[in-house]
């Protein structure tokens, strides 16, 4: 299926605002692992589809677009789309609003799967997303599922986004987060689940540092 190297993966899944991106990035840096941010790949395809005015309901058109798109990461985590840094473009509210239309399509997910595996092939990695432990890296050596109270997750997202958008309200962020969670957990293709065998961590009352320490301890125990 895919090579043994792909199992040297710490898979981290969880809903928006669970802290998984920061945890995955910092953990990867500490452990000298590659950080695979799969949300960035879904965002990149969504951004390019919007940019090219592709029909987001046309799976064949999206697959054609993906077929002629080069996706990669710089060492510092910036995403390259066709060789150009698009780290800012992929995080606009419009991309966040539209991304479910790409993420819900099984055909698109199936085509992104080998791309995700190829990106970690031959190296140890921390892979974060919504279907890491369940679908993309089912044989990952370590699996974690980060969760937390909705209002606390929304507050984290708001703090992250408000510097770039001072008029953004907490209510807007909470509504967006609820919508996204609903799409991610209820879609038919690779819905967000706590994968079998994953360690579930409730991050509601924990700092990023607490979560990283918990994960590091478990990784070292099973190392």
31: its two tokens: 């452990």
Q: Indicate the SS3 state at residue 117.
A: helix
As measured in angstroms, the least distance from the Cβ of 95 to ligand C5P is 8
Q: Pick from 61, 51, 219: which is nearest to 140 by CA?
A: 219
* # residues near ligand C5P by CB under 6 A: 13
Quick one: CA dihedral 137, 109, 100, 94, positive or negative? Answer: positive
Q: Does 176 bind ligand C5P (CB under 6 A)?
A: no
Look at strands 125-129 and 71-73 and give their pairing.
Answer: unpaired
The nearer residue to ligand C5P, 110 or 217, going by C-beta atoms, is 110
Q: At what angle do helices 38-51 and 59-67 cross, to 10 degrees?
A: 110
Binding to ligand C5P in span 20-39, by CB under 6 A:
38-39
159, 103 contact by CB (below 8 A) = no
As measured in angstroms, the least distance from the Cβ of 87 to ligand C5P is 12
Q: Does 16 bind ligand C5P (CB under 6 A)?
A: yes
As measured in angstroms, the least distance from the Cβ of 202 to ligand C5P is 19
Residues in contact with ligand C5P, shown as a per-residue x/- string from 85 to 104 under the rule CB under 6 A? --------------xx--x-
Of 43, 86, 117, 156, the one binding ligand C5P (CB under 6 A) is 43
Can you list the alpha helix ranges (DSSP code H) found in the chain?
20-31, 38-51, 59-67, 93-103, 106-120, 150-161, 170-186, 208-221
The nearer residue to ligand C5P, 99 or 212, going by C-beta atoms, is 99
9, 31 contact by CB (below 8 A) = no
Of 184, 195, 198, 215, the one binding ligand C5P (CB under 6 A) is 184
Q: Does 47 bind ligand C5P (CB under 6 A)?
A: no
* Contact residues: ligand C5P, CB under 6 A: 16, 38-39, 42-43, 99-100, 103, 129-131, 180, 184
């Amino acid at each position: 299926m895919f090579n043994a190297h792909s199992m040297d993966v710490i898979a981290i899944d969880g809903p928006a605002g669970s802290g998984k991106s920061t945890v995955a990035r910092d953990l990867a840096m500490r452990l000298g692992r590659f950080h695979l941010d799969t949300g960035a790949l879904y965002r990149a395809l969504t951004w390019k589809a919007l940019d090219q005015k592709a029909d987001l309901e046309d799976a064949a058109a999206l697959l054609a677009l993906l077929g002629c798109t080069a996706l990669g990461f710089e060492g510092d985590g910036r995403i390259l789309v066709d060789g150009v840094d698009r780290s800012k473009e992929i995080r606009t509210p419009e991309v966040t609003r539209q991304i479910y239309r790409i993420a819900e399509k099984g055909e698109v997910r199936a085509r992104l799967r080998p791309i995700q595996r190829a990106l970690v092939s031959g190296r140890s990695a921390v892979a974060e997303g919504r279907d890491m432990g369940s679908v993309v890296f089912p044989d990952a050596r370590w699996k974690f599922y980060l969760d937390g109270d909705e209002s606390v997750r929304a507050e984290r997202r708001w703090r992250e986004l408000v510097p770039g958008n001072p008029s953004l309200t907490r209510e807007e962020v909470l509504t967006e987060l609820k919508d996204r969670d609903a799409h991610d957990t209820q879609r038919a293709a690779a819905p967000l689940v706590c994968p079998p065998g994953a360690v579930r961590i409730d991050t509601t009352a924990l700092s990023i540092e607490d979560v990283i320490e918990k994960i590091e301890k478990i990784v070292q125990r099973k190392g």
